[in-house]
Amino acid sequence: METSDAAVVRRVLGGDVEAFGILVERYFDHYVRFAVHLVGNREDAEEVVQDTFVRAYRALGRYEERERFGAWLLRILVNRARTVSAIGRRREQMFPDQVDESLPEAAEAHPADRAALREEVARALSQLGPDQREAFLLHYAEGLSYEEMAAITGSGVSALKMRVKRSCERLREILQGVNRV
Amino acid sequence: MPTPDPLAALIAELREPVAGDPASKRRVMEMVRESPLPVAGATVVARPLHQRSRAFAAIRRMRGGDSRTSSASALATAAGIALLLAVGAQERPTTSYQPGRRAVTLGDSVASVASAIRDTLRIVQFMLTAPAASRVALAGDFNGWDTRGTPLARDARDGRWTVTLALAPGRHRYAYVVDDTQWVRDPAATPAEPNELTPPRSVVIINR
């Protein structure tokens, strides 16, 4: 029988630190996937997710069971990713010759067609603004409703709908442009 | 035959499983084990002020003081001093960051009381109000200007970031590092000598 997230949290708060590993196993891979698309490279994504879990553990006393644990975790992750992305943008502005090249390297481990698709996806997403990319991924990669997205991002539902709509339009332009070449 | 929607292919790719690095998961659990146990219902977990409270409690126990005595007076009795450090504030704050309070000496550390060593350590609390920050760390000559080694804990209620350290008496230069990149001197403290080659810094003088 699978233990609910809330029950695991209660175990951790009761002193069973190792039980936190259940939540790590349950959510880590899923959120690495999300973070890779959000921040644009595997190394930063792993760091963001690591940091998210440690922060979540330290703040576990503030978690309220009426909120879905995964959504609570995602809110922490989104905030961390925003910080990392902002730092990355500043770094690129300061050191334009040192732009992270890890995406093509990460793709080399996959079959050629799959690698090409992943690279194309990453490049298309990288051409969206940070807010648009975040909204698009929350809606389409995570399958969240606009109300859930609003709770996580702090933005209004109508603003989020507009971001998703514009990101879809932009991505279609980018992908069709790529396909025509 | 209709052309497949490229956006649908992209969304399908976004949902493909990705395996996280097992070493990253292990690292998470290592850091979790090193962290204080979270407390249910706590507004802020593992705040530096808890450390201060523990220090107060330990001093009271050592001196056989009444646990109902207020922290400040108990500390004054126990350590002989409980003084606000004059750190000077000749300059008004010039950044958007607001001083929560000046870096203050709270009293002798438990270690110094216990061992009665000559170079007594002092417990100093650093505080910065920066509600929009995601991360604040303290860098100074006492930690080799490490920008990550001394993180401040955030109080979500008022956006204050604090950390409490045991420092040797003397003159220390320091600065806050906001979101890993922005160096901010303590708006409430004396600015260190300006130097074109270094970020803005402040000075705290800790009396013996």
**Do residues A115 and A88 both lie within one domain?**
no
Domain that holds residue A10: 1-100
Nearest CB to B25 within list A24, A121, A176: A24
Average pLDDT score over residue span A94-114: 46
Q: Tell me whether residues B37 and A15 touch, CB distance under 8 A.
A: yes
Q: Tell me whether residues A24 and B28 touch, CB distance under 8 A.
A: yes
Among B residues 147-206, those touching chain A with beta carbons less than 8 Å apart? 156, 179-181
What's the ipTM?
0.81
Where is average pLDDT lowest: A102-116, B27-41, B93-107, B135-149? Answer: B93-107
- Written as one string, the DSSP assignment of A4-24 is PHHHHHHHHHTT-GGGHHHHH
The helix (run of H) or strand (run of E) holding residue A3 is: none
**Do residues A153 and A180 both lie within one domain?**
yes
**Do residues A63 and A137 both lie within one domain?**
no
Mean pLDDT value across chain B: 65
Considering its fold, how many domains does chain B have in total?
1
Phi first, then psi, for residue A164 (nearest 5°) are -65, -45
Is the predicted pLDDT of residue A10 greater than 80, yes or no? Answer: yes
Last residue of a domain, one of A81, A100, A119: A100
- Written as one string, the DSSP assignment of A69-115 is HHHHHHHHHHHHHHHHHHHHHHHHHH-GGG---HHHHHHTTS-HHHH
Give the distance from residue A62's alpha carbon to the nearest chain B alpha carbon, in angstroms.
6
Q: DSSP label at B60?
A: H
Neighbour-count burial for B162-197, b at 16+ CB within 10 Å, e otherwise: bbbbbbeeeebbbbbbbbbebebbbbbbbbbeeeee
The helix (run of H) or strand (run of E) holding residue B145 is: none
B29: number of Cβ within 10 Å: 17
Considering its fold, how many domains does chain A have in total?
2
Is residue B28 assigned to a domain?
no
Task: Please indicate whether residue B4 or residue A159 has the higher confidence score (pLDDT).
Answer: A159
**Chain B residues near residue A32 by CB distance under 8 angstroms:** 18-21, 24
**Do residues A20 and A83 both lie within one domain?**
yes
Q: DSSP label at B71?
A: H
**Do residues A95 and A139 both lie within one domain?**
no
Residue B5: strand, helix, or coil: coil
Is the predicted pLDDT of residue A31 greater than 90, yes or no? Answer: yes
Give the distance from residue A19's alpha carbon to the nearest chain B alpha carbon, in angstroms.
10
What pLDDT score does A169 carry? 93
Q: Tell me whether residues B38 and A57 touch, CB distance under 8 A.
A: yes
Answer whether B20's CB lies under 8 Å from A46's CB: yes
Q: How far apart are CA A53 and CA A49, in angstroms?
A: 6
Is the predicted pLDDT of residue B71 greater than 50, yes or no? Answer: no
**Do residues A176 and A140 both lie within one domain?**
yes
Q: How far apart are CA B140 and CA B173, in angstroms?
A: 6
Answer whether A76's CB lies under 8 Å from A57's CB: no
Quick: pLDDT tens for B171-202: 888 889 888 888 888 887 777 766 545 667 78
Last residue of a domain, one of A52, A67, A100: A100
What pLDDT score does A178 carry? 57
A-B Cβ pairs (cutoff 8 Å, strict): 113
Q: How far is residue B54 CA from its own chain's centroid? A: 16
The model's pTM: 0.53
Q: How far is residue B132 CA from its own chain's centroid? A: 16
What pLDDT score does B141 carry? 83
Residues 6+ apart with CB under 8 A from A170: A127, A128, A132
Answer whether A38's CB lies under 8 Å from A133's CB: yes
The candidate with the shortest Cα–Cα distance to B46, out of B192, B162, B168, B191, is B162
Domain that holds residue B187: 81-206
Q: Is residue B2 less than 8 Å (CB to CB) from chain A? A: no
**Do residues A95 and A123 both lie within one domain?**
no
**Whole-Å CA distances, B145 to A12, A50, A98, A145, B173:** 35, 24, 24, 45, 9
Q: How far apart are CA A32 and CA B19, in angstroms?
A: 8
Quick: pLDDT tens for A141-180: 988 899 889 988 888 999 999 999 999 999 999 988 755 4
Nearest CA in chain B to A17: B33
Paired with B127 in beta bridges are B162
Nearest CA in chain A to B6: A175
Tokens of A35: 């973070």
